[in-house]
Amino acid sequence: MRQSAITLAIILALAACLRFVGIGSGIPFNVGVDEPEILERAVRMMRTGDFNPHFFDYPGLYFYLQLAVACLRFLVGATSGEWTSLDQVSTADFYLWARALTALLGTLTVLLVYYIGMRWGTRYAALAAGLMAVMPIHVRESHYVLTDVPVTFFVTLALLLTLRAAERERASDFAWAGAAAGLAAATKYPGALSLLMPLIAVWMTLNAKPSRLIASLAVLGGAAAGFLIGAPYTIIDLPNFLNGYAHLAGYYSSKPLGEPAAVTYYKHLSRSIAWPAFLLLLTGLGLGAVRAIRGPGRVRWTVTIVFPIVYFYFLSGQTLVYGRYLMPLLPFVCLLAAAGAVSGVSLLRRFDIPRAARQAIIAAVTIAAVLSPAWQSLHFMRDLTRVSTVEQAHAWMLDNLPKGSSIVIETQALLAPKSFKAKNVPQLVRDFRAPQEHAEYVDAGVEYIIASSQKYGDPLQFPHRHPDLYAAYMRLFEQSRELARFTPDPNHPGPELRIYKLKP
């Protein structure tokens, strides 16, 4: 037990390090695209006392968790003399603490994976938690104020409580598992699929007390309570919720473009965990299917393999595809990969192989599974702690451009300070939200433009492929005066950014 505690402490320390280091990177000039959607609404609630988010792309729970953190941050700041009223704060003052909450939930998810893995054994738990600790997608998204890491936490909590309920066979325990699923749904709508886990477990638990029917009702009641506590305005403001949800659903049900979503998600997952862990995952899935049918541990194996299959199928039918949407699958991926590794090595006991050789094989399999994800996470953390080209451009703007200047920025990655009249557009040329030519910018009162290689890179590098874009960019650049250029290098990651002053 002492050895297990030390192992768990090391894994959690690693998980926390990967998620908290560099957490302030990009604040306030390069925050995530969707971070303001959550934090600005939480800060507005704090300012106005209106707890209706008036935004239903997300159900509401994470708004309220961030509201609590923002209030705590304000009280700490007021105590230390940073401000004396709400009028003196801005959203930028709360990003660091808001991100810390996401990082904390990401670290706690690793702890939950360990406790779930203990249902199989200590080696399963250690390898599954270790793999989750270094999972690149989870490490990266734990640095931002988004809903994907929190919903993963609640889905994992629902799995843990489901397994505990199946062990205790009581309706009250199944109700708690349902409540966790309700909280997952209140964080992000697809989290509602986690309700499958306690419902499956109920009907596989023959001795559920007082009966399987009552236990099932307890699951549904707990889920409803959890959802309404976390997202009360889905009922209080029912018409706007229904309209907002229908509008959101329209994006996901439109005609898909490009390759199928299942292929894209497969690429994201296989690249993130790399082929050794992916092979272990397939082994764990096969083993889980056998155990779900024959036993032992039919309930835990069934729950662990059914949810990720159903969730992946759900994602594959959506039009909007982002790698972070895979997040709730990752705890199950880590558990199944650990099962594939430990069970595969256990088969060696049937052969006359020395104990030292078996230990060496175990070590090699563990290292092979964890090494590539860990390297990817360390590489991300290294880049995160470097001064990016975006940070260089932001500092240059503060030092060299007059306050109140009108600026158009060709990237969402660079947010100008409030002292400028700035507008972010997807593209400087051929964008319906921006002027097209130099004269149009000047007539609109624009004084400076900032161009990003993420947009002009291909047209300038391959003019024969994009002749119209190449001509438009070159015409705009030649009619302007270049003030600064920030080119990426090993010490300064990011896109190349060019700052131009428009000539009259």
Hey, what are 365's tokens?
Answer: 């399999």
For the four alpha carbons of 197, 202, 205 and 209, in that order, the dihedral sign comes to positive
Hey, what are 98's tokens?
Answer: 């808001």
Q: Which residues contact 153 (CB under 8 A, 6 or more apart)?
A: 105, 106, 108, 109, 112
Q: How far is CA 134 from CA 83, 169, 265, 338, 377, in A?
A: 38, 34, 19, 14, 6
pLDDT of 1 over the 90 cut:
no
- The pLDDT of 322-349, averaged and rounded, is 88
Nearest to 55 by CA among 79, 32, 39, 72: 39
pLDDT range class, residue 434, cuts 50, 70, 90: low
Nearest to 342 by CA among 127, 163, 114: 127
Query: Looking at residue 103, what is its pLDDT?
Result: 97
- Element (H or E) spanning 501, and its range? strand 497-502
**374-410 pLDDT per residue, tens:** 999 999 988 888 899 999 999 999 999 999 999 999 9
**358-371 pLDDT per residue, tens:** 778 778 888 889 99
pLDDT of 106 over the 70 cut:
yes
How far, in Å, CA of 368 to CA of 355, rounded? 20
- Element (H or E) spanning 498, and its range? strand 497-502
pLDDT of 432 over the 70 cut:
no
Hey, what are 247's tokens?
Answer: 């509008």
Q: Residue 388 in contact with residue 494, Cβ under 8 Å? A: yes
Which residues on neighbouring strands pair with residue 406, listed in sequence order?
421
Hey, what are 474's tokens?
Answer: 């070159």
How far, in Å, CA of 424 to CA of 263, rounded? 32
Nearest to 448 by CA among 392, 403, 398, 409: 409
Please write down the HEC assignment for all residues of 449-481. EEEEHHHHHHHHHCCCCCHHHHHHHHHHHHCEE
Question: 3-state class of 409 per DSSP?
Answer: strand
pLDDT of 252 over the 80 cut:
no
pLDDT range class, residue 431, cuts 50, 70, 90: low
Q: Which residues of 379-408 are buried (b: 16+ CB within 10 A; e: fewer)?
A: ebbeebeeebbbbbbbeebeeebeeebbbb
- The pLDDT of 224-252, averaged and rounded, is 91
